[in-house]
Structure 1
Amino acid sequence: MSTRTPARTPARTPARTPARTPARRLVVACSAVLALGLGAAACGSSSSSSSSSSASSSSTPAASGPAKASGTVTVFAAASLKETFTDLGKKFEAANPGSKVTFNFGGSSSLATSINSGAPADVFAAASPATMKTVTDAGGAGGQATTFVKNTLTIAVPKGNPKHVAGLKDLTAPGVKVALCAKEVPCGAAALTALKAADLQLTPVTLEQDVKGALTKVELGEVDASLVYKTDVKADAAKIDGVDFPEAAKAVNDYPIAALAKAPNKNGAAAFVAYITSPEAQQVLTAAGFQAP
Protein backbone atom coordinates (compact mmCIF):
# COMPACT_ATOMS: atom_id res chain seq x y z
CA MET A 1 0.00 0.00 0.00
CA SER A 2 1.50 3.21 -1.09
CA THR A 3 1.59 6.23 1.16
CA ARG A 4 0.35 9.56 -0.36
CA THR A 5 2.32 12.61 0.36
CA PRO A 6 -0.06 15.59 0.83
CA ALA A 7 0.31 18.30 -1.77
CA ARG A 8 2.40 21.17 -0.44
CA THR A 9 0.63 24.52 -0.55
CA PRO A 10 2.73 27.54 -1.48
CA ALA A 11 3.87 29.57 1.50
CA ARG A 12 2.16 32.94 1.75
CA THR A 13 4.39 35.95 1.98
CA PRO A 14 3.19 38.22 4.82
CA ALA A 15 1.88 41.61 3.66
CA ARG A 16 4.53 44.32 4.09
CA THR A 17 3.58 46.90 6.67
CA PRO A 18 4.41 50.45 5.52
CA ALA A 19 7.18 52.09 7.48
CA ARG A 20 5.76 54.47 10.03
CA THR A 21 6.96 58.04 9.93
CA PRO A 22 7.35 59.96 13.25
CA ALA A 23 4.12 61.81 12.48
CA ARG A 24 2.28 58.51 11.76
CA ARG A 25 3.59 56.97 14.96
CA LEU A 26 2.31 60.04 16.86
CA VAL A 27 -1.16 59.65 15.35
CA VAL A 28 -1.24 55.95 16.27
CA ALA A 29 -0.08 56.70 19.80
CA CYS A 30 -2.67 59.44 20.21
CA SER A 31 -5.40 57.10 18.97
CA ALA A 32 -4.40 54.57 21.61
CA VAL A 33 -4.42 57.23 24.31
CA LEU A 34 -7.84 58.47 23.28
CA ALA A 35 -9.16 54.87 23.24
CA LEU A 36 -8.06 54.50 26.84
CA GLY A 37 -9.96 57.67 27.73
CA LEU A 38 -6.90 59.56 28.88
CA GLY A 39 -7.81 62.71 26.93
CA ALA A 40 -6.10 64.69 24.21
CA ALA A 41 -3.97 66.93 26.42
CA ALA A 42 -1.02 64.56 26.41
CA CYS A 43 -1.02 64.41 22.61
CA GLY A 44 -1.22 68.18 22.26
CA SER A 45 1.61 68.62 24.75
CA SER A 46 3.80 66.12 22.96
CA SER A 47 3.13 67.67 19.56
CA SER A 48 3.79 71.19 20.83
CA SER A 49 6.96 70.12 22.57
CA SER A 50 8.17 68.38 19.43
CA SER A 51 7.44 71.42 17.26
CA SER A 52 9.05 73.77 19.75
CA SER A 53 12.16 71.63 19.93
CA SER A 54 12.36 71.49 16.15
CA ALA A 55 11.90 75.26 15.81
CA SER A 56 14.52 76.10 18.42
CA SER A 57 17.06 73.80 16.81
CA SER A 58 16.59 75.33 13.37
CA SER A 59 16.16 79.02 14.22
CA THR A 60 18.82 81.51 15.25
CA PRO A 61 18.67 83.14 18.71
CA ALA A 62 16.51 86.26 18.95
CA ALA A 63 18.41 89.55 18.80
CA SER A 64 18.84 91.18 22.19
CA GLY A 65 17.91 94.81 22.90
CA PRO A 66 20.43 97.67 23.09
CA ALA A 67 23.01 97.31 25.82
CA LYS A 68 22.68 99.50 28.89
CA ALA A 69 25.12 102.39 29.07
CA SER A 70 27.86 102.35 31.67
CA GLY A 71 30.79 104.53 32.60
CA THR A 72 31.06 108.29 32.12
CA VAL A 73 29.17 109.96 29.28
CA THR A 74 30.51 113.45 28.55
CA VAL A 75 27.97 115.77 26.93
CA PHE A 76 28.78 119.17 25.41
CA ALA A 77 25.49 121.09 25.26
CA ALA A 78 24.19 124.56 24.47
CA ALA A 79 23.76 126.77 27.54
CA SER A 80 20.00 126.98 26.97
CA LEU A 81 19.76 123.24 27.66
CA LYS A 82 21.28 123.46 31.13
CA GLU A 83 18.16 123.01 33.25
CA THR A 84 16.49 120.30 31.18
CA PHE A 85 19.65 118.32 30.42
CA THR A 86 20.71 118.38 34.07
CA ASP A 87 17.35 116.83 34.95
CA LEU A 88 17.48 114.36 32.05
CA GLY A 89 21.03 113.38 32.96
CA LYS A 90 19.82 112.20 36.38
CA LYS A 91 16.97 110.24 34.78
CA PHE A 92 19.41 108.65 32.34
CA GLU A 93 21.70 107.58 35.17
CA ALA A 94 18.75 106.04 37.02
CA ALA A 95 17.81 104.05 33.93
CA ASN A 96 21.42 102.99 33.35
CA PRO A 97 22.99 101.92 36.66
CA GLY A 98 26.75 102.31 36.57
CA SER A 99 26.61 105.32 34.23
CA LYS A 100 27.57 108.91 35.03
CA VAL A 101 26.69 111.91 32.85
CA THR A 102 28.96 114.96 32.98
CA PHE A 103 28.04 118.17 31.18
CA ASN A 104 29.91 121.06 29.63
CA PHE A 105 27.39 123.84 28.99
CA GLY A 106 28.29 126.92 26.98
CA GLY A 107 27.90 128.79 23.74
CA SER A 108 27.41 126.31 20.91
CA SER A 109 30.10 127.91 18.75
CA SER A 110 32.78 127.72 21.47
CA LEU A 111 31.81 124.12 22.25
CA ALA A 112 32.10 123.23 18.56
CA THR A 113 35.56 124.81 18.44
CA SER A 114 36.64 122.76 21.45
CA ILE A 115 35.36 119.54 19.88
CA ASN A 116 37.13 120.27 16.59
CA SER A 117 40.30 120.95 18.58
CA GLY A 118 40.17 117.47 20.10
CA ALA A 119 38.40 118.01 23.42
CA PRO A 120 37.21 114.60 24.71
CA ALA A 121 33.43 114.43 24.45
CA ASP A 122 30.85 111.77 23.66
CA VAL A 123 27.82 113.85 22.61
CA PHE A 124 27.24 117.31 21.18
CA ALA A 125 23.87 119.08 21.45
CA ALA A 126 23.90 122.43 19.65
CA ALA A 127 21.42 125.29 19.46
CA SER A 128 21.58 125.53 15.67
CA PRO A 129 22.22 123.32 12.63
CA ALA A 130 24.88 125.78 11.40
CA THR A 131 26.94 125.20 14.54
CA MET A 132 26.54 121.43 14.32
CA LYS A 133 27.65 121.63 10.68
CA THR A 134 31.06 122.97 11.73
CA VAL A 135 31.55 119.71 13.65
CA THR A 136 30.14 117.36 11.01
CA ASP A 137 32.15 119.06 8.25
CA ALA A 138 35.31 118.47 10.27
CA GLY A 139 34.42 114.78 10.63
CA GLY A 140 33.66 115.13 14.30
CA ALA A 141 30.19 113.58 14.29
CA GLY A 142 29.96 109.81 14.40
CA GLY A 143 26.65 109.77 12.53
CA GLN A 144 23.88 111.95 11.24
CA ALA A 145 22.76 114.69 13.63
CA THR A 146 19.12 114.54 14.75
CA THR A 147 16.95 117.59 15.48
CA PHE A 148 15.34 116.88 18.84
CA VAL A 149 13.68 120.23 19.74
CA LYS A 150 13.14 123.80 18.51
CA ASN A 151 13.36 127.06 20.45
CA THR A 152 12.04 130.58 19.98
CA LEU A 153 13.32 133.98 21.09
CA THR A 154 11.60 136.31 23.51
CA ILE A 155 12.54 139.61 25.20
CA ALA A 156 13.72 139.18 28.77
CA VAL A 157 13.02 142.12 31.07
CA PRO A 158 13.24 142.62 34.87
CA LYS A 159 10.17 141.69 36.89
CA GLY A 160 7.46 144.25 36.36
CA ASN A 161 8.96 145.42 33.04
CA PRO A 162 9.97 148.89 34.31
CA LYS A 163 10.80 150.21 30.81
CA HIS A 164 7.40 149.02 29.50
CA VAL A 165 8.92 147.11 26.61
CA ALA A 166 6.15 145.81 24.33
CA GLY A 167 8.12 144.72 21.27
CA LEU A 168 11.39 144.88 19.37
CA LYS A 169 10.94 148.53 18.38
CA ASP A 170 10.95 149.56 22.04
CA LEU A 171 14.49 148.18 22.36
CA THR A 172 15.72 150.98 20.08
CA ALA A 173 14.26 153.76 22.28
CA PRO A 174 16.76 156.20 23.85
CA GLY A 175 17.96 155.15 27.28
CA VAL A 176 17.05 151.45 26.86
CA LYS A 177 20.10 149.27 27.42
CA VAL A 178 20.05 145.91 25.67
CA ALA A 179 22.22 142.80 25.85
CA LEU A 180 22.52 140.44 22.88
CA CYS A 181 24.44 137.25 22.24
CA ALA A 182 27.42 137.55 19.92
CA LYS A 183 26.53 136.92 16.27
CA GLU A 184 28.63 133.71 16.23
CA VAL A 185 26.39 132.23 18.93
CA PRO A 186 23.04 130.74 17.81
CA CYS A 187 20.99 133.09 20.02
CA GLY A 188 22.90 136.05 18.54
CA ALA A 189 22.34 134.87 14.96
CA ALA A 190 18.65 134.37 15.71
CA ALA A 191 18.42 137.88 17.23
CA LEU A 192 19.92 139.42 14.09
CA THR A 193 17.41 137.48 11.96
CA ALA A 194 14.51 138.76 14.06
CA LEU A 195 15.75 142.37 13.95
CA LYS A 196 16.16 142.13 10.19
CA ALA A 197 12.59 140.82 9.88
CA ALA A 198 11.43 143.88 11.86
CA ASP A 199 13.63 146.17 9.74
CA LEU A 200 15.35 147.44 12.86
CA GLN A 201 18.94 148.22 13.79
CA LEU A 202 20.00 147.89 17.38
CA THR A 203 23.25 148.75 19.14
CA PRO A 204 23.60 146.58 22.26
CA VAL A 205 25.64 147.69 25.25
CA THR A 206 27.13 144.19 25.53
CA LEU A 207 27.57 141.06 23.44
CA GLU A 208 27.60 137.81 25.41
CA GLN A 209 29.13 134.45 24.50
CA ASP A 210 26.05 132.45 25.47
CA VAL A 211 22.38 133.00 26.20
CA LYS A 212 22.81 132.62 29.97
CA GLY A 213 25.27 135.51 29.93
CA ALA A 214 22.72 137.75 28.20
CA LEU A 215 20.05 136.70 30.70
CA THR A 216 22.31 137.33 33.69
CA LYS A 217 22.80 140.95 32.59
CA VAL A 218 19.06 141.47 33.04
CA GLU A 219 19.01 139.67 36.38
CA LEU A 220 21.78 141.93 37.71
CA GLY A 221 20.05 145.07 36.47
CA GLU A 222 22.93 145.93 34.15
CA VAL A 223 20.61 146.11 31.14
CA ASP A 224 16.91 146.77 30.63
CA ALA A 225 16.32 143.90 28.24
CA SER A 226 17.95 141.08 26.32
CA LEU A 227 16.96 138.73 23.52
CA VAL A 228 17.02 135.17 24.85
CA TYR A 229 15.08 131.95 24.38
CA LYS A 230 11.63 131.37 25.82
CA THR A 231 12.96 128.40 27.75
CA ASP A 232 15.48 130.61 29.56
CA VAL A 233 12.81 133.03 30.71
CA LYS A 234 10.56 130.17 31.83
CA ALA A 235 13.40 128.63 33.83
CA ASP A 236 14.08 132.00 35.53
CA ALA A 237 10.45 133.13 35.93
CA ALA A 238 10.99 134.17 39.56
CA LYS A 239 13.35 136.97 38.50
CA ILE A 240 12.54 137.67 34.85
CA ASP A 241 9.49 138.46 32.73
CA GLY A 242 9.22 137.66 29.04
CA VAL A 243 7.77 139.77 26.24
CA ASP A 244 6.84 137.91 23.07
CA PHE A 245 7.12 139.56 19.66
CA PRO A 246 5.84 138.42 16.24
CA GLU A 247 9.20 138.55 14.45
CA ALA A 248 10.39 135.65 16.63
CA ALA A 249 8.54 133.32 14.26
CA LYS A 250 11.17 134.19 11.62
CA ALA A 251 14.03 133.09 13.88
CA VAL A 252 13.14 129.66 15.27
CA ASN A 253 16.23 127.58 16.07
CA ASP A 254 16.45 123.83 15.49
CA TYR A 255 18.52 121.95 18.08
CA PRO A 256 20.50 118.99 16.68
CA ILE A 257 22.23 116.28 18.70
CA ALA A 258 24.87 113.75 17.62
CA ALA A 259 27.19 111.12 19.03
CA LEU A 260 30.77 112.11 18.27
CA ALA A 261 33.17 110.14 16.07
CA LYS A 262 35.94 110.11 18.68
CA ALA A 263 33.64 109.48 21.64
CA PRO A 264 35.57 107.71 24.41
CA ASN A 265 32.31 106.00 25.43
CA LYS A 266 30.64 105.11 22.13
CA ASN A 267 27.98 102.89 23.66
CA GLY A 268 27.13 105.56 26.24
CA ALA A 269 27.00 108.24 23.53
CA ALA A 270 24.56 106.24 21.41
CA ALA A 271 22.42 105.44 24.45
CA PHE A 272 22.25 109.10 25.54
CA VAL A 273 21.25 110.33 22.07
CA ALA A 274 18.56 107.63 21.92
CA TYR A 275 17.28 108.70 25.33
CA ILE A 276 17.08 112.40 24.45
CA THR A 277 14.94 111.58 21.41
CA SER A 278 12.69 109.23 23.41
CA PRO A 279 9.08 110.16 24.36
CA GLU A 280 10.05 110.42 28.05
CA ALA A 281 12.75 113.02 27.39
CA GLN A 282 10.60 114.86 24.87
CA GLN A 283 7.94 115.31 27.54
CA VAL A 284 10.45 116.96 29.87
CA LEU A 285 11.78 119.22 27.10
CA THR A 286 8.36 120.43 25.91
CA ALA A 287 7.27 121.05 29.51
CA ALA A 288 10.26 123.40 29.79
CA GLY A 289 9.08 125.43 26.78
CA PHE A 290 10.89 123.75 23.91
CA GLN A 291 8.92 122.89 20.79
CA ALA A 292 8.72 119.41 19.33
CA PRO A 293 10.90 118.98 16.20
Structure 2
Amino acid sequence: MAALGLVLVTALAGCAAAPSPAPHPGGEVGAGLDGTVVVLAAASLTDVVGEIAGQVERAHPGLTVRTAFGASSTLAAQVAAGAPADVLVTSSAETMGLATDAVGGSPVVVATNGLQLAVPAGNPGGVTSLADLADPGLTVALCAPEVPCGDLAVQVLARAGVTPAPDTYERDVRGVLARLRLDEADAGLVYRTDVVAGADAVEGIELPEAVQVVTEHLALASPTAPRPEAAAVVVAALLGPAGRRVLADAGFGLP
Protein backbone atom coordinates (compact mmCIF):
# COMPACT_ATOMS: atom_id res chain seq x y z
CA MET A 1 0.00 0.00 0.00
CA ALA A 2 2.84 2.42 0.88
CA ALA A 3 4.54 1.68 -2.44
CA LEU A 4 1.34 2.20 -4.38
CA GLY A 5 0.71 5.43 -2.52
CA LEU A 6 4.16 6.61 -3.61
CA VAL A 7 3.34 5.72 -7.22
CA LEU A 8 0.11 7.70 -7.02
CA VAL A 9 1.82 10.69 -5.41
CA THR A 10 4.46 10.61 -8.15
CA ALA A 11 1.83 10.35 -10.88
CA LEU A 12 -0.11 13.26 -9.43
CA ALA A 13 2.89 15.51 -8.86
CA GLY A 14 2.44 18.76 -10.70
CA CYS A 15 -1.15 17.91 -11.68
CA ALA A 16 -2.88 20.97 -10.28
CA ALA A 17 -6.30 21.55 -11.80
CA ALA A 18 -6.33 23.87 -14.77
CA PRO A 19 -9.32 25.78 -16.11
CA SER A 20 -11.35 23.87 -18.68
CA PRO A 21 -10.57 25.03 -22.21
CA ALA A 22 -13.06 27.12 -24.14
CA PRO A 23 -15.25 25.18 -26.59
CA HIS A 24 -13.62 24.66 -29.95
CA PRO A 25 -15.20 26.79 -32.66
CA GLY A 26 -15.96 23.71 -34.71
CA GLY A 27 -17.69 22.03 -31.79
CA GLU A 28 -15.31 19.04 -31.64
CA VAL A 29 -15.34 17.49 -28.16
CA GLY A 30 -11.96 17.86 -26.50
CA ALA A 31 -10.43 19.93 -29.31
CA GLY A 32 -7.64 22.23 -28.16
CA LEU A 33 -7.18 20.54 -24.78
CA ASP A 34 -4.03 21.24 -22.81
CA GLY A 35 -2.72 20.60 -19.31
CA THR A 36 -2.68 17.25 -17.52
CA VAL A 37 -5.31 14.54 -17.10
CA VAL A 38 -4.81 11.83 -14.45
CA VAL A 39 -5.86 8.24 -15.12
CA LEU A 40 -5.87 5.53 -12.43
CA ALA A 41 -6.21 2.02 -13.86
CA ALA A 42 -6.10 -1.60 -12.75
CA ALA A 43 -2.70 -3.28 -13.07
CA SER A 44 -4.12 -5.72 -15.63
CA LEU A 45 -4.65 -2.75 -17.97
CA THR A 46 -1.13 -1.35 -17.67
CA ASP A 47 -0.10 -1.97 -21.27
CA VAL A 48 -3.33 -1.04 -23.03
CA VAL A 49 -4.02 2.10 -20.99
CA GLY A 50 -0.44 3.19 -21.56
CA GLU A 51 -0.83 2.74 -25.32
CA ILE A 52 -4.21 4.47 -25.44
CA ALA A 53 -2.83 7.33 -23.34
CA GLY A 54 -0.21 7.78 -26.04
CA GLN A 55 -2.94 7.92 -28.68
CA VAL A 56 -4.73 10.65 -26.73
CA GLU A 57 -1.55 12.69 -26.36
CA ARG A 58 -0.82 12.44 -30.09
CA ALA A 59 -4.37 13.55 -30.91
CA HIS A 60 -4.13 16.44 -28.39
CA PRO A 61 -0.50 17.64 -28.39
CA GLY A 62 -1.11 20.08 -25.55
CA LEU A 63 -2.46 17.40 -23.24
CA THR A 64 -0.38 15.18 -20.95
CA VAL A 65 -1.92 11.92 -19.70
CA ARG A 66 -0.50 10.83 -16.33
CA THR A 67 -1.19 7.21 -15.40
CA ALA A 68 -0.88 5.19 -12.19
CA PHE A 69 -1.62 1.48 -11.88
CA GLY A 70 -2.42 -0.87 -9.01
CA ALA A 71 -5.11 -3.00 -7.44
CA SER A 72 -8.59 -1.81 -8.45
CA SER A 73 -9.83 -1.84 -4.87
CA THR A 74 -7.00 0.43 -3.73
CA LEU A 75 -7.42 2.89 -6.60
CA ALA A 76 -11.21 3.00 -6.15
CA ALA A 77 -10.75 3.71 -2.45
CA GLN A 78 -8.38 6.55 -3.29
CA VAL A 79 -10.95 8.10 -5.66
CA ALA A 80 -13.64 7.69 -3.00
CA ALA A 81 -11.35 9.46 -0.52
CA GLY A 82 -10.95 12.43 -2.84
CA ALA A 83 -7.81 11.71 -4.88
CA PRO A 84 -7.75 14.25 -7.74
CA ALA A 85 -8.15 11.70 -10.51
CA ASP A 86 -10.00 12.38 -13.74
CA VAL A 87 -10.53 8.79 -14.92
CA LEU A 88 -10.74 5.48 -13.05
CA VAL A 89 -10.58 2.10 -14.81
CA THR A 90 -11.22 -1.02 -12.71
CA SER A 91 -11.29 -4.77 -13.20
CA SER A 92 -14.70 -5.40 -11.66
CA ALA A 93 -18.07 -3.78 -11.11
CA GLU A 94 -17.74 -4.34 -7.37
CA THR A 95 -14.56 -2.29 -7.06
CA MET A 96 -15.95 0.43 -9.33
CA GLY A 97 -18.90 0.61 -6.92
CA LEU A 98 -16.52 1.70 -4.14
CA ALA A 99 -15.85 4.85 -6.14
CA THR A 100 -19.30 5.56 -7.57
CA ASP A 101 -20.93 5.16 -4.15
CA ALA A 102 -18.79 8.10 -3.06
CA VAL A 103 -18.54 10.34 -6.13
CA GLY A 104 -21.40 9.18 -8.37
CA GLY A 105 -21.10 8.95 -12.12
CA SER A 106 -21.99 6.39 -14.77
CA PRO A 107 -19.16 3.96 -15.55
CA VAL A 108 -19.10 2.18 -18.91
CA VAL A 109 -17.89 -1.33 -19.73
CA VAL A 110 -14.84 -1.13 -21.98
CA ALA A 111 -13.74 -4.79 -22.05
CA THR A 112 -14.20 -8.25 -20.57
CA ASN A 113 -11.65 -10.75 -19.30
CA GLY A 114 -11.20 -14.11 -17.63
CA LEU A 115 -8.53 -16.15 -15.87
CA GLN A 116 -6.03 -18.66 -17.17
CA LEU A 117 -3.77 -21.05 -15.32
CA ALA A 118 -0.29 -19.70 -16.01
CA VAL A 119 3.17 -21.27 -15.69
CA PRO A 120 6.73 -20.19 -16.51
CA ALA A 121 7.97 -20.97 -20.01
CA GLY A 122 8.65 -24.68 -20.35
CA ASN A 123 6.31 -25.49 -17.45
CA PRO A 124 9.08 -26.73 -15.12
CA GLY A 125 6.55 -27.79 -12.48
CA GLY A 126 4.66 -30.04 -14.88
CA VAL A 127 1.37 -28.27 -14.13
CA THR A 128 -1.64 -29.50 -16.10
CA SER A 129 -4.80 -28.40 -14.27
CA LEU A 130 -6.28 -26.33 -11.46
CA ALA A 131 -5.91 -29.33 -9.15
CA ASP A 132 -2.14 -28.74 -9.20
CA LEU A 133 -2.68 -25.49 -7.27
CA ALA A 134 -3.41 -27.67 -4.22
CA ASP A 135 -0.04 -29.46 -4.48
CA PRO A 136 2.17 -28.40 -1.53
CA GLY A 137 5.19 -29.47 -3.54
CA LEU A 138 4.64 -26.65 -6.03
CA THR A 139 5.15 -22.93 -5.49
CA VAL A 140 1.80 -21.26 -6.15
CA ALA A 141 1.13 -17.53 -6.56
CA LEU A 142 -2.37 -16.04 -6.39
CA CYS A 143 -3.82 -12.56 -6.15
CA ALA A 144 -5.01 -11.54 -2.69
CA PRO A 145 -8.72 -12.37 -2.29
CA GLU A 146 -9.68 -8.73 -1.67
CA VAL A 147 -8.58 -7.58 -5.15
CA PRO A 148 -10.54 -8.41 -8.34
CA CYS A 149 -8.18 -11.05 -9.74
CA GLY A 150 -8.14 -12.75 -6.33
CA ASP A 151 -11.91 -12.65 -5.97
CA LEU A 152 -12.23 -14.15 -9.45
CA ALA A 153 -9.74 -16.87 -8.51
CA VAL A 154 -11.80 -17.73 -5.43
CA GLN A 155 -14.88 -18.15 -7.62
CA VAL A 156 -13.08 -20.26 -10.23
CA LEU A 157 -11.46 -22.55 -7.65
CA ALA A 158 -14.77 -23.00 -5.82
CA ARG A 159 -16.43 -24.06 -9.08
CA ALA A 160 -13.58 -26.50 -9.67
CA GLY A 161 -13.75 -27.86 -6.12
CA VAL A 162 -10.07 -27.06 -5.52
CA THR A 163 -8.65 -25.78 -2.24
CA PRO A 164 -5.36 -24.13 -3.22
CA ALA A 165 -2.11 -24.11 -1.26
CA PRO A 166 -0.72 -20.68 -2.18
CA ASP A 167 2.80 -19.72 -1.17
CA THR A 168 2.24 -16.04 -1.88
CA TYR A 169 -0.69 -13.65 -2.24
CA GLU A 170 0.09 -10.69 -4.49
CA ARG A 171 -1.55 -7.26 -4.27
CA ASP A 172 -2.40 -7.25 -8.00
CA VAL A 173 -2.27 -9.53 -11.03
CA ARG A 174 1.01 -8.10 -12.30
CA GLY A 175 2.60 -9.26 -9.06
CA VAL A 176 1.59 -12.85 -9.88
CA LEU A 177 2.81 -12.43 -13.45
CA ALA A 178 6.18 -11.18 -12.20
CA ARG A 179 6.59 -14.24 -9.98
CA LEU A 180 6.01 -16.50 -12.99
CA ARG A 181 8.27 -14.55 -15.33
CA LEU A 182 11.10 -14.70 -12.78
CA ASP A 183 10.57 -18.44 -12.14
CA GLU A 184 9.69 -17.67 -8.54
CA ALA A 185 6.45 -19.66 -8.83
CA ASP A 186 5.47 -22.87 -10.61
CA ALA A 187 1.89 -21.79 -11.27
CA GLY A 188 -0.63 -19.03 -10.72
CA LEU A 189 -3.94 -17.65 -11.89
CA VAL A 190 -3.78 -14.50 -14.00
CA TYR A 191 -6.02 -12.84 -16.56
CA ARG A 192 -5.66 -14.33 -20.03
CA THR A 193 -4.48 -10.89 -21.15
CA ASP A 194 -1.55 -11.14 -18.73
CA VAL A 195 -0.49 -14.38 -20.39
CA VAL A 196 -0.39 -12.41 -23.65
CA ALA A 197 1.60 -9.66 -21.91
CA GLY A 198 4.01 -12.26 -20.52
CA ALA A 199 5.06 -13.10 -24.08
CA ASP A 200 7.62 -15.90 -24.30
CA ALA A 201 8.27 -15.97 -20.54
CA VAL A 202 4.85 -17.38 -19.59
CA GLU A 203 2.53 -20.10 -20.89
CA GLY A 204 -1.22 -20.25 -20.37
CA ILE A 205 -3.44 -23.27 -19.79
CA GLU A 206 -7.09 -22.66 -20.66
CA LEU A 207 -9.60 -23.43 -17.91
CA PRO A 208 -12.57 -25.76 -18.45
CA GLU A 209 -15.59 -23.81 -19.66
CA ALA A 210 -17.63 -25.02 -16.66
CA VAL A 211 -15.42 -23.16 -14.17
CA GLN A 212 -14.73 -19.97 -16.11
CA VAL A 213 -16.00 -16.64 -14.76
CA VAL A 214 -16.06 -13.48 -16.87
CA THR A 215 -15.25 -10.11 -15.36
CA GLU A 216 -15.88 -6.64 -16.76
CA HIS A 217 -13.43 -3.76 -16.96
CA LEU A 218 -15.19 -0.43 -16.44
CA ALA A 219 -14.13 3.17 -16.99
CA LEU A 220 -15.44 6.20 -15.13
CA ALA A 221 -15.00 9.84 -16.04
CA SER A 222 -15.24 11.06 -12.47
CA PRO A 223 -17.95 13.68 -11.77
CA THR A 224 -15.40 15.32 -9.47
CA ALA A 225 -12.67 15.29 -12.12
CA PRO A 226 -10.46 18.38 -12.15
CA ARG A 227 -10.45 18.13 -15.97
CA PRO A 228 -13.92 16.81 -16.95
CA GLU A 229 -13.59 17.44 -20.70
CA ALA A 230 -10.21 15.73 -20.84
CA ALA A 231 -11.61 12.83 -18.79
CA ALA A 232 -14.39 12.39 -21.35
CA VAL A 233 -11.82 12.30 -24.16
CA VAL A 234 -9.85 9.50 -22.44
CA VAL A 235 -12.97 7.37 -21.90
CA ALA A 236 -14.04 7.99 -25.51
CA ALA A 237 -10.60 6.80 -26.66
CA LEU A 238 -11.03 3.55 -24.71
CA LEU A 239 -14.36 2.98 -26.44
CA GLY A 240 -13.34 4.19 -29.90
CA PRO A 241 -12.14 2.07 -32.85
CA ALA A 242 -8.42 2.56 -32.15
CA GLY A 243 -8.85 1.79 -28.46
CA ARG A 244 -10.89 -1.31 -29.21
CA ARG A 245 -8.16 -2.56 -31.53
CA VAL A 246 -5.59 -2.13 -28.75
CA LEU A 247 -7.81 -4.00 -26.29
CA ALA A 248 -8.54 -6.83 -28.76
CA ASP A 249 -4.86 -7.22 -29.67
CA ALA A 250 -4.07 -7.57 -25.96
CA GLY A 251 -6.59 -10.41 -25.62
CA PHE A 252 -9.50 -8.55 -24.00
CA GLY A 253 -13.06 -9.33 -24.96
CA LEU A 254 -15.10 -6.46 -26.31
CA PRO A 255 -18.58 -5.68 -24.95
Give the alignment's TM-score, normalised by structure 1.
0.75
In 2: Cα distance, 1:154 partner to 1:271 partner: 32
The DSSP-based 3-state class of the residue aligned with 1:238 is helix
Runs of at least 5 residues in structure 2 that lack an aligned partner in the other structure: 1-24
In 1: Cα distance, 2:242 partner to 2:150 partner: 30
In structure 1, the residue matched to 2:51 is: 87
Which residue of 94, 99, 110 corresponds with 1:148?
110
In 1: Cα distance, 2:181 partner to 2:160 partner: 26
Runs of at least 5 residues in structure 1 that lack an aligned partner in the other structure: 1-61
In 2: Cα distance, 1:246 partner to 1:217 partner: 24
- CA deviation profile, 1:224-271 (whole Å, cap 9, x unmatched): 111001111111112111111115863211001011122111110011
Alpha-carbon shift at residue 174 of structure 1 (Å): 3.6
Q: Does 1:165 align with 2:127?
A: yes
Q: CA RMSD in A?
A: 1.6
In 2: Cα distance, 1:109 partner to 1:287 partner: 26
- CA deviation profile, 1:191-237 (whole Å, cap 9, x unmatched): 00100110111121111110011111112222111100111111111
Amino acid at match of 1:180: L
Q: Does 1:252 align with 2:214?
A: yes
- For the pair shown, the structure with the greater C-alpha radius of gyration is 1
The DSSP-based 3-state class of the residue aligned with 1:216 is helix
In structure 1, the residue matched to 2:29 is: 66
Which residue of 51, 61, 64 corresponds with 1:97?
61
Are the equivalent residues in 1 in contact too, given 2:135–2:165 (CA < 8 A)? no
In structure 2, the residue matched to 1:231 is: 193
In 1: Cα distance, 2:137 partner to 2:128 partner: 15
In 2: Cα distance, 1:70 partner to 1:148 partner: 25
In 2: Cα distance, 1:232 partner to 1:128 partner: 16
Amino acid at match of 2:73: S
Amino acid at match of 1:262: T
In 2: Cα distance, 1:63 partner to 1:102 partner: 27
Are the equivalent residues in 1 in contact too, given 2:71–2:172 (CA < 8 A)? yes
The equivalences for 1:1-293 within 5 A come to 64-68=27-31, 69-138=33-102, 140-141=103-104, 143-246=105-208, 250-293=212-255
Comparing 281-290 and 166-175, the one that deviates more:
166-175
Are the equivalent residues in 1 in contact too, given 2:225–2:231 (CA < 8 A)? yes
Give the alignment's TM-score, normalised by structure 2.
0.86
Count of residues in Structure 1 that have an aligned counterpart in Structure 2: 230
In 2: Cα distance, 1:85 partner to 1:289 partner: 14
- CA deviation profile, 1:10-58 (whole Å, cap 9, x unmatched): xxxxxxxxxxxxxxxxxxxxxxxxxxxxxxxxxxxxxxxxxxxxxxxxx
Alpha-carbon shift at residue 152 of structure 1 (Å): 1.1
Alpha-carbon shift at residue 173 of structure 1 (Å): 2.4
In 2: Cα distance, 1:128 partner to 1:104 partner: 17
Alpha-carbon shift at residue 63 of structure 1 (Å): 7.8
In 1: Cα distance, 2:241 partner to 2:210 partner: 27
Distance change (3 Å), C-alpha of 1:102 and 1:63: closer
Deviating beyond 6 angstroms after TM superposition, the runs of 4 or more aligned structure 1 residues are none
